[in-house]
A and B are shown apart, each in its own frame.
Chain A
Amino acid sequence: MGKIVAVTGNEACAEALRQINPDVCAAYPITPATDLMQRFSSFVNDGKVDTELVLVESEHSAMSACIGAAAAGGRVGTATSSQGLALMWEMLYIAAGTRLPIIMPLVNRALSAPLNIHGDHSDGMGARDTGWIQFYSENAQEAYDNTIQAFRIGEHLDIRLPVMVCMDGFIVSHSIERVEYIEDADVKNFVGKFEAVNPLLDLDNPKSYGPLILTDLYHEYKRAQHEVMTKVPKVVLDVAAEFEKMTGRSYGLFETYRLDDAEMAVVVMSSAAGTTKDIIDQYRDRGVKIGLLKPRMFRPFPYQEIAEALQHVKAIAVLDRADSFGGYGPLFSEITGAVMSMNSKPAMINKIFGLGGRDYLPEQAEHVIDELIEIAKTGKVETVKEYIGVRE
């Protein structure tokens, strides 16, 4: 068993990166991810890692340098947030389309305007279609564990895709929590040796990366990219099983909480799941059959598996910490997509909460569950999408 420490999410992820010891990291500071790379910089400058740390002049260059480094043929990581991710946007697609395993903790933060440094999922959701694998973490322990597993998943020879490991800005990145670290040697052994695929640094077999592909092949390349995503869930589960053997901590594509016999479900990601679980306990004590589903892997989205897990519920509330203006919340859209394959059609509502770091309070969870109880009874949904926790 590893050491038990009290650390922030950022500190835990920095520790994971130290233990993994990537060959190259390229990063640019941005709140609230700054602290993660600051800590990692100390590991570099104190000689605790072998990493070449490239301190670039923008996030666009951070991802560009990571792409160059990954194509060169080595283990690569970075971290960012919000506007930084937005500036990387172009390069996110290129990392995935070029099939380069780059691991990136994303400390979720609201997008401007107005400028805001606090946590919500607007950034990650905006990167939904980039071709990256995305994990969302509830707490520092999950952020740490997901970071370590992400290297195994992204670098897996059947996969070779970049991975975002998300955690809520400040709520997780800056809160001190109990985290159980894994021994250095075990982490090293778990992630294993990096296997280069078509490395640019193989001078004797020169490759060209980044050709122009027009109408005759582009469609096929995208088809192949789609295909690799279908292979991800199995690898995620295999890696999780191995991880559980090592740590005793269990991970799936999503987590369920008191869902087996539930009549109603709340679907919510990341730190808000913790608060919701507490409230669910209170309602359960009163005999209300309510449960929770917390997606861990948002891309690829496990529609079928989630549909099976929700098969028996009558009403679902999906809580989104991001809005798709003019549309439903992004998580809601995915859950409705999953529900499409179910025989029964539960009533569904969508709550937009916690934008720009607005606290998600127990009362909000209570209101949502009260509404669900009513909907389950009547089968009637009055408003599908609604903001909660708004000052009125």
Chain B
Amino acid sequence: MTTTAKPLGLKKLALGEDRFSYGHRMCAGCGAPIVVKQVLMATDYPIIATNATGCLEVSSCIQQFTAWKIPWMHSAFENSAATASGIEAMYRSLVKQGKLEDRNVKFIAFGGDGGTYDIGFQSLSGAMERGHDMMYICYDNGAYMNTGIQRSSATPFGANTTTCPAGDVIPGKPQQRKDLTRIMAAHGIPYVAQASPSYHTDLMKKVQKAFEIKGPKFMNIIAPCNRGWRSRTNDAITLAKLAVETCYWPLYEIENGVTKVTVKPKEKKPLVDFLKPQGRFKHMFAPENEDMLKQAQEYVDAQWDRLLKESAAGESEKAE
């Protein structure tokens, strides 16, 4: 890689102009705009983005008001990846034909977890398989927040949502969440990563790295939602940090099939530290649901152990 990466020191970064503007209408304290601004800030390459229908989309572009300072397109819910693939194909076509100057444009498809894990999964999988030179970024807030906090396949085990409420018989979501990051890695694409806006340097380094790689990339970024998580408006960064410290949301990357944990918590905190501040898990702390907490912790432990093993295998592979 010949390009010098943009320095990520905050005092230098803050000299630049935001490519995502104020005046958007995301709720106070939403994690999604923090994710978007960090992603766009990580690089000076020209970026064209698409957006699946969802909170970010409806709040960032209403009538004549757009928060985007880059070319941006929303067409529908399940097709952010397919739409981006069409834009990218047109770019390649016009450059190839000499009809357009090659300015090393980067393409991003944004989607929430509903538009990514669920309804948009097919179009995401297809676009990645076809090898488009684009990055898909899922901002994962763990439910369909835009339509009123319905469960998605990214909703964590036990969570209370409007379609899997903590009822007397069924206390919240019975299933564990889909591990989309690993599923995307199984596509054999060159770069897959998980990030958190609380670890902004790690997040932006991953974006930088991804943009130096030709082909399809996928990043899954946790984006706390105080409305859906039933937490406070000021705790998005704190929760996104606890998610990492409890190993609920490990920070790692899989580059050409080699797994690496990029931020390893000094001390792995118990999962309840992440669950407790969120009202969506409140019922799990009732004495009769003690087993739910145990199950949730066991799942996180198993996932983390597997990840550590894979990361260790990756490191030893590198050493050889």
B62 and A212 within 8 A (CB): yes
Q: Does A57 contact B (CB under 8 A)?
A: yes
Q: Which of A26, A57, A61, A67 has the most CB of B within 10 A?
A: A61
Rounded to whole Å, the gap between the CB of B127 and the closest CB of chain A is 8
Inter-chain contacts of B85 with A (CB < 8 A):
26, 54, 56, 61, 65, 68
Task: Please measure, in the bound complex, the distance between the C-alpha atom of A61 and the C-alpha atom of B126, giving whole angstroms.
Answer: 9
Inter-chain contacts of A73 with B (CB < 8 A):
90, 94
Q: Does A248 contact B (CB under 8 A)?
A: no
Q: Does A60 contact B (CB under 8 A)?
A: yes
- Among candidates B58, B68, B82, residue contacting A64 with C-beta atoms closer than 8 Å: B82
Of A200-208, A252-260, A297-305, A348-356, the segment with at least 4 beta carbons within 8 Å of chain B is A200-208
Rounded to whole Å, the gap between the CB of B94 and the closest CB of chain A is 6
Rounded to whole Å, the gap between the CB of A47 and the closest CB of chain B is 12
A58 and B122 within 8 A (CB): yes
Task: Please measure, in the bound complex, the distance between the C-alpha atom of A56 and the C-alpha atom of B126, giving whole angstroms.
Answer: 6
Task: Please measure, in the bound complex, the distance between the C-alpha atom of A165 and the C-alpha atom of B75, giving whole angstroms.
Answer: 23
B72 and A209 within 8 A (CB): yes
Task: Please measure, in the bound complex, the distance between the C-alpha atom of A51 and the C-alpha atom of B97, giving whole angstroms.
Answer: 9
Decide yes or no: A55 and B62 within 8 Å by CB, A65-B85, A90-B76, A210-B74 being known contacts.
no
- Among candidates B70, B90, B125, residue contacting A206 with C-beta atoms closer than 8 Å: B70
- Among candidates B62, B73, B93, B97, residue contacting A71 with C-beta atoms closer than 8 Å: B73
A72 and B87 within 8 A (CB): yes
Rounded to whole Å, the gap between the CB of B123 and the closest CB of chain A is 5
Q: Does B96 contact A (CB under 8 A)?
A: yes
Task: Please measure, in the bound complex, the distance between the C-alpha atom of A51 and the C-alpha atom of B100, giving whole angstroms.
Answer: 14
Task: Please measure, in the bound complex, the distance between the C-alpha atom of A203 and the C-alpha atom of B101, giving whole angstroms.
Answer: 11
Decide yes or no: A203 and B105 within 8 Å by CB, A67-B86, A72-B90, A210-B74 being known contacts.
yes
Task: Please measure, in the bound complex, the distance between the C-alpha atom of A52 and the C-alpha atom of B92, giving whole angstroms.
Answer: 8
B79 and A91 within 8 A (CB): yes
A23 and B93 within 8 A (CB): yes
Size band of the interface chain A makes with B: 35 or more
Size band of the interface chain B makes with A: 35 or more
Decide yes or no: A91 and B61 within 8 Å by CB, A64-B83, A71-B87, A208-B66 being known contacts.
no
Rounded to whole Å, the gap between the CB of A350 and the closest CB of chain B is 36
B57 and A72 within 8 A (CB): no
Inter-chain contacts of B122 with A (CB < 8 A):
57-58, 61
Q: Which of A65, A71, A202, A211 has the most CB of B within 10 A?
A: A65
C-beta contact mask, A180-224 vs B, less than 8 Å → 1, else 0?
A: 000000000000000000001111001111111110110000000
B63 and A65 within 8 A (CB): no
Rounded to whole Å, the gap between the CB of A392 and the closest CB of chain B is 44
Q: Which positions in B face A, CB cutoff 8 Å? A: 46, 48, 50-51, 57-58, 61-66, 68-76, 78-79, 81-94, 96-97, 99-100, 103, 105, 122-123, 125-127, 129-130
Q: Which positions in A face B, CB cutoff 8 Å? A: 23-24, 26, 50-52, 54-58, 60-61, 64-74, 76, 90-91, 94, 98, 200-203, 206-214, 216-217
Q: Give me 19 A-to-B residue pairs in the complex whose CB atoms sit less than 8 angstroms apart, sorted by A's number.
A: A52-B92, A54-B130, A57-B122, A61-B82, A61-B85, A61-B126, A65-B89, A68-B90, A72-B90, A74-B93, A200-B48, A201-B100, A201-B105, A203-B48, A203-B105, A208-B68, A209-B75, A210-B61, A210-B74
